[in-house]
Amino acid sequence: MSKLLDVQFNKKTLAVRLVVATILGVLSFLVFYFIPSNLSTILSLITTPNVRRIVSVLLLTVIDPNLSSVGLLITLLTLLYALLYGSKVHGYITTSLGLSFVAYAYLLFHGGSISIEIPKELIPRLSGVITLNLKLLMILFMLPGFLIALKGILEIVEKFNRRS
Amino acid sequence: MKLVNKILNVAIVVSVLLAFTILGVFVWNIVQVSSSISIGKPSMKFLDSKIELPINISNLGPFSIHEISVKVIVFDEYGVKILEGTTEPLKVEPASTLQTKIVMNLNVSTLPLEKLLTENENLSVKANVSISVLPVVKVTGKFMYELTWDAPLRELKIEKPKVSFYNATRLQVLLPISFENENRFVPVDTKVEVRVFNATSNVQVGLGYINIKAPPTSSFSGNLTTLVKLDRSTVSLLFNDKLLRFRVEFTGTYGNASISFRRLFNLSWGAPISNLKVGIPSLHLYNLTHIKFVLPFNFTNNSEFITANGSLRGVALDLKNNVVGIVEPLSFNVTPKKFFSGELVGYIETSVLTEKAVILKLTLQTSFGSVEIEREMTLHV
């Protein structure tokens, strides 16, 4: 039996935590980092070269360059969330994870207003910008993040009260 | 605290499900609305300045489609606004079907129709589109499209008119008309009314019709035959070369639309009796009662298409206006661009020899009418 950050581990619980952490980590890595970062490559497998070129240009506009960094942060925090469940730092990890989700939703929806420049290749001699106002959807997707962060804060407060 | 935690856990799960459910329903709603849209054939009503586009949209819901509106502005290559159109906003409530016409009101007052019909242009079409799917999304689009406009009446030419004499007051004018329909979509099939105006006096002098048919990317050439009234003084035209300026107004109809434009053409009018010269008479004693005189005269028929034919006859008057002699009729028939030289022969009474001169009163009779010419003739036998 070993103790790390107020959490006692035996071989069994460590193994379970590692398995859960790995599954959640891989899932979040795929969903929040790998797919958004390689969307154009993934789409290239199922589309024609012409469509691929247009989609690549569109994705450059739609996917924020910071999204993958936040996705990677979410993966890391998810791993820690599962590994260090019940530890004294778990509240901080939960809060950070919640705020990361909020940041991810904010970047995904470009702050609620996405401007897509129509690629020149799409229709010759046509140029234009389509602006999507998605504030309500963004808020909806930010809500779970806020609630997770709130949960983390409550956990910190609870741990603080227990010590004092 | 545990209860709060549990509530938070439930809230997190519910909020995630809610977000994805709303997203899913929204996407489904948009997909079914967009697949239900059927657009009919647009009809253009130039006279009412409207384009009508029949449209059928079904919205199964749950979201309401609001404010479908389009604004289109067309600029010419110099950035001058030539056409503006806006639609009246449409609204499709959830669980309803809308069968309507998108009406685009066009401001055609500034539309340079003649220019668009006859000149190729690089137009810029600027469109603002707005659609709201309440309460989730509002989509606005700003588009710019470079449109190459190929003129349906490109290189519209009125070749040099072929003019022929019709009668004393009218000319028959054959106007060869040609153009290229360079437009790939717009056919030209119309009966064109052609009015001819004297460009100086602005008086209508001719009217004609021509059927014009030119499918997309084809050429047309045809002749318009019209009678042009000579509204100037015929006497003036008989003796004087002139540049006659005409304005031709074409009015074509296309559906309900009526399109007019104009062209100028000039006609160099050559006088049929130009540079008329009467020479010095020679007098000879003919018999005891009469003196014979011979009066040389000449002129050039400057006309390119009129044969100057007619006759010259007259009488001689003394200074008291009494008839004292006659001039023998002289007929002439001078083809275009020919010189004519002839001699008028007449006889006057010897009793007038006491007078210094007599007046020759000549009547020039042509198909353009009669002209009186008076000339004093000194008597030196």
Which amino acid makes up residue B300?
Answer: T
Q: Among A127, A133, A140, whose Cβ lies nearest the Cβ of B22?
A: A140
Pairwise pLDDT comparison (A92 vs A3), residue with the higher score:
A92
> Which residues from chain B sit within 8 angstroms of residue A127, using beta carbons?
143-145
What six digits make up the tokens of B355?
Answer: 């007078």
Q: Which of A130, A155, A162 to mutate to test the interface with B (most CBs of B within 10 A)?
A: A130
Closest B-chain CA to A131: B140
Q: Are B170 and B60 in contact (CB under 8 A)?
A: no
Average pLDDT score over residue span B303-317: 87
> Which residues from chain A sit within 8 angstroms of residue B144, using beta carbons?
126-128
Name the pLDDT band for B380 (thresholds 50, 70, 90).
low
Average pLDDT score over residue span B41-46: 64
Q: Among A125, A128, A154, whose Cβ lies nearest the Cβ of B1?
A: A154
- CB contact under 8 Å between B5 and A140, yes or no, is no
Q: Is the pLDDT of residue B232 over 60?
A: no
Which of the given ranges, A30-44, B6-20, B90-104, B243-257, has the highest pLDDT on average?
Answer: B6-20
Name the pLDDT band for B46 (thresholds 50, 70, 90).
low
Q: In Å, how far are A87, B20, B175, B280 from B131, measured between CA atoms?
A: 50, 22, 54, 95
> Which residues from chain A sit within 8 angstroms of residue B142, using beta carbons?
128-129, 131
pLDDT averaged over every residue in chain A? 85
Q: What is the pLDDT of residue A147?
A: 95
Pairwise pLDDT comparison (B220 vs A88), residue with the higher score:
B220
Q: Which of B73, B134, B142, B149 to mutate to test the interface with A (most CBs of A within 10 A)?
A: B142
Q: Among B18, B138, B146, whose Cβ lies nearest the Cβ of A133?
A: B138
Q: What is the pLDDT of residue A48?
A: 73
Name the pLDDT band for A145 (thresholds 50, 70, 90).
very high
Q: A146: Cβ–Cβ under 8 A, 6 or more apart, which residues? A: A98, A102
DSSP B62: S
Q: What is the pLDDT of residue B47?
A: 55
Name the pLDDT band for B192 (thresholds 50, 70, 90).
confident
- CB contact under 8 Å between A148 and B12, yes or no, is yes
Q: What is the pLDDT of residue A24?
A: 92
- Tell me how close the Cα of B123 comes to any Cα of chain A, in angstroms: 11
**SS3 state at A80:** helix
Tens-place pLDDT, residues A39-81: 877 777 777 777 777 777 777 778 888 899 999 999 999 999 9
Tens-place pLDDT, residues B106-122: 666 666 777 778 888 88
C-alpha B229/C-alpha B273 separation (Å) is 20
C-alpha B367/C-alpha A64 separation (Å) is 90
Q: Among B8, B22, B141, whose Cβ lies nearest the Cβ of A130?
A: B141
Q: Minimum mean pLDDT among B165-169, B187-191, B270-274: which range?
A: B165-169
> Which residues from chain A sit within 8 angstroms of residue B136, using beta carbons?
134, 136-137
C-alpha A20/C-alpha A3 separation (Å) is 19
Average pLDDT score over residue span B48-57: 74
- CB contact under 8 Å between B8 and A147, yes or no, is yes
Cα angle A38-A40-A41, degrees, rounded to a multiple of 5: 65
H-helix or E-strand containing B368?
none
**SS3 state at B202:** coil
Closest A-chain CA to B25: A137
Nearest to A113 by CA among A71, A44, A47, A64: A64
Closest B-chain CA to A137: B136
Q: Does B141 touch chain A (CB under 8 A)?
A: yes
Q: Minimum mean pLDDT among A74-78, A153-157, B286-290, B350-354: which range?
A: B350-354
What six digits make up the tokens of B341?
Answer: 């030289």
Name the pLDDT band for A22 (thresholds 50, 70, 90).
very high
Q: State percent of chain B over pLDDT 70.
A: 92
Q: Is the pLDDT of residue A94 over 90?
A: yes
Which amino acid makes up residue B369?
Answer: G
Q: What is the pLDDT of residue A19?
A: 92
Q: Among A126, A128, A134, whose Cβ lies nearest the Cβ of B137?
A: A134
Q: What is the pLDDT of residue B371?
A: 82
- Structure pTM? 0.62
Average pLDDT score over residue span A110-123: 82
Tens-place pLDDT, residues B145-178: 888 888 888 888 878 778 777 876 788 888 888 8
pLDDT averaged over every residue in chain B? 83
Q: What is the pLDDT of residue B29?
A: 86
Q: Among B19, B135, B140, whose Cβ lies nearest the Cβ of A131?
A: B140
**A 125-144 residues inside an 8 A Cβ radius of B:** 125-134, 136-137, 140-141, 143-144
Average pLDDT score over residue span A27-39: 89
Q: Does A3 touch chain B (CB under 8 A)?
A: no
Q: Among B8, B127, B146, whose Cβ lies nearest the Cβ of A151?
A: B8
**SS3 state at B79:** coil
Cα angle B65-B66-B71, degrees, rounded to a multiple of 5: 120
Closest B-chain CA to A159: B1
Q: What is the pLDDT of residue B48?
A: 63
ipTM score for this prediction: 0.84
Nearest to B184 by CA among B235, B135, B150: B150
Q: Does A111 touch chain B (CB under 8 A)?
A: no
Nearest to B68 by CA among B131, B138, B17: B131
Pairwise pLDDT comparison (A160 vs B104), residue with the higher score:
A160
Alpha helices in chain B (DSSP H): 2-36, 113-118, 234-239
